[in-house]
């Protein structure tokens, strides 16, 4: 099993060959880097992947810094990134991996990925997602698919009624969506900050709210505007800020508060 402080023991010709991209019979092997802060889960993932004939874990890390240190040395084809590394490190890590190692493909692991989080990870360069309660077959299939160049979304976000409604909403003129919609002052403020390109965490720091509260506001805004994702909301916010679409009128709910 790999460690977080050094590479695998390369004395075994089979291990050396697997890291080099071939097993002892010369068959191609997919090198994987695992980034997970839960030790028990991390070790379980390693055991599962090393039990597959075409997958090998070349390194593990418990945080973003450790992962970036191991990238040049191990040259993984696929990097599994825990979505909950903390302090927005997961988003930044995905972006750094794609910038420093374009050949690497990133899969984000999460329990229940929210649509806006999926969009944010895609914007940063993620190629796939896998839920942590997936079966072993689903897990390894996602890795193989992403390694082959395909994009894999969470099953809960594909083919759903929500996605169809979102597609219809995306075709509607922005003005028709906004004429009948009224926003609170807090929601209007958050839309303005989204137009500046701020993340949920950055917005939370700016307006002195908890990040989960900002996420809740974003969710409500998406529903009011019949939009599908934060990406669509960003586009709408930019158009609104530049005057392409009429501004959404705020409701009269008094001064801003932390719970608005």
pLDDT in tens, 214-246: 988 888 887 777 666 666 677 666 666 555 444
3-state percent breakdown (helix, strand, coil) of the chain, nearest 5? 50, 15, 35
Do 115 and 192 have their domain in common? no
- Dihedral through CA 96, CA 208, CA 198, CA 123, nearest 10? 50
- pLDDT > 50? residue 17: no
Sign of CA dihedral 87, 237, 163, 260: positive
The whole-number pLDDT of residue 127 equals 87
Do 113 and 38 have their domain in common? yes
Establish if 86 belongs to a structural domain.
Answer: yes
Helix (H) or strand (E) holding 57: strand 55-61
Give 18-49 pLDDT, tens digit per residue: 444 544 444 579 999 999 999 999 999 999 99
| Residues whose CB is less than 8 angstroms from the CB of residue 5 and which lie 6 or more positions away in sequence, other chains included | none
Give 132-184 pLDDT, tens digit per residue: 888 999 999 999 999 998 888 766 665 554 444 444 444 444 444 444 456 78
Confidence of residue 188 (pLDDT cuts 50, 70, 90): confident
Do 49 and 136 have their domain in common? yes
- Note whether 227 and 219 are within 8 A (CB): no
The whole-number pLDDT of residue 200 equals 86
Rounded Cα distance, 196 and 203, in Å: 10
Establish if 254 belongs to a structural domain.
Answer: no
Report the candidate in 233, 237, 255, 257 with the shortest Cα–Cα distance to residue 247: 237
**Mean pLDDT, range 203-207, rounded to an integer:** 92
Helix (H) or strand (E) holding 187: helix 185-195
β-strand pairing of 128-131 with 78-82: unpaired
Domain with 29 in it: what CATH number?
A: 3.40.50.2300
Greater confidence (92 vs 196) lies with 92
Rounded Cα distance, 213 and 12, in Å: 52
Rounded Cα distance, 139 and 45, in Å: 10
- Note whether 153 and 118 are within 8 A (CB): yes
Q: What percent of the chain has pLDDT over 70?
A: 63
**Mean pLDDT, range 87-97, rounded to an integer:** 85
Do 64 and 50 have their domain in common? yes
Establish if 76 belongs to a structural domain.
Answer: yes
The whole-number pLDDT of residue 60 equals 95
- Alpha-carbon distances, residue 233 vs 35, 55, 176, 177, 223 (angstroms): 30, 38, 15, 12, 11
Greater confidence (166 vs 53) lies with 53
SS3 label, residue 81 = strand
Do 144 and 167 have their domain in common? no
The whole-number pLDDT of residue 178 equals 43
Establish if 62 belongs to a structural domain.
Answer: yes
Q: What percent of the chain has pLDDT over 90?
A: 32
Do 216 and 111 have their domain in common? no
- Note whether 141 and 118 are within 8 A (CB): no
The whole-number pLDDT of residue 121 equals 82
- Alpha-carbon distances, residue 131 vs 58, 111, 168, 194, 252 (angstroms): 22, 5, 27, 27, 41
Greater confidence (90 vs 4) lies with 90
Do 166 and 153 have their domain in common? no
Establish if 3 belongs to a structural domain.
Answer: no
Do 135 and 182 have their domain in common? no
Rounded Cα distance, 155 and 119, in Å: 15
Establish if 32 belongs to a structural domain.
Answer: yes
Helix (H) or strand (E) holding 43: helix 39-50
Domain with 221 in it: what CATH number?
A: 1.10.10.10
Do 149 and 37 have their domain in common? yes
Confidence of residue 87 (pLDDT cuts 50, 70, 90): low
Among the listed ranges 52-61, 80-89, 157-166, which one has the minimum average pLDDT value?
Answer: 157-166
Establish if 253 belongs to a structural domain.
Answer: no
- Note whether 225 and 178 are within 8 A (CB): yes
Establish if 247 belongs to a structural domain.
Answer: no
Which residue range(s) make up the domain with 115?
Answer: 13-157
The total domain count for the chain is 2
Do 137 and 166 have their domain in common? no
Do 21 and 65 have their domain in common? yes
The whole-number pLDDT of residue 133 equals 83
Do 19 and 69 have their domain in common? yes
The whole-number pLDDT of residue 5 equals 38
**Mean pLDDT, range 87-105, rounded to an integer:** 87
Q: Please identify, among 111, 140, 157, the residue that sits at the C-terminal boundary of a domain.
A: 157
SS3 label, residue 91 = helix
Q: Please identify, among 108, 132, 157, the residue that sits at the C-terminal boundary of a domain.
A: 157
């Amino acid at each position: 099993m790999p460690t977080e402080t050094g590479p695998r023991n390369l004395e075994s010709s089979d291990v050396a060959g697997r890291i080099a991209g071939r097993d002892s019979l010369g068959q191609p092997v997919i090198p994987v880097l695992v980034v997970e802060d839960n030790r028990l889960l991390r070790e379980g993932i390693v055991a599962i992947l090393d039990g597959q004939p075409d997958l090998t874990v070349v390194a593990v890390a418990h945080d973003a810094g450790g992962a970036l240190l191991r990238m040049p040395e191990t040259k993984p084809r696929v990097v599994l990134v825990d979505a909950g590394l903390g302090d927005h490190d997961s988003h930044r890590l995905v972006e750094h991996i794609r910038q420093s190692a374009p050949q690497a493909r990133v899969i984000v692991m999460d329990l229940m990925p929210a649509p806006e989080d999926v969009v944010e990870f895609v914007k940063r360069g993620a190629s796939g997602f896998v839920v942590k309660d997936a079966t072993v077959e689903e897990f390894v299939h996602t890795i193989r698919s992403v390694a082959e160049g395909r994009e894999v979304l969470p099953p809960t976000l594909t083919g759903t009624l929500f996605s169809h409604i979102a597609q219809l909403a995306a075709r509607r003129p922005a003005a028709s969506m906004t004429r009948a919609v009224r926003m609170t002052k807090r929601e209007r403020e958050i839309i303005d900050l989204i137009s500046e390109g701020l993340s949920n965490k950055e917005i939370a720091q700016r307006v002195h709210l908890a990040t989960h509260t900002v996420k809740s506001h974003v969710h409500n805004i998406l529903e009011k505007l019949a939009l599908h994702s934060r990406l669509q909301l960003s586009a709408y916010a930019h158009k609104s800020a530049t005057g392409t679409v009429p501004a959404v009128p705020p409701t009269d709910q008094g001064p801003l508060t932390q719970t608005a």
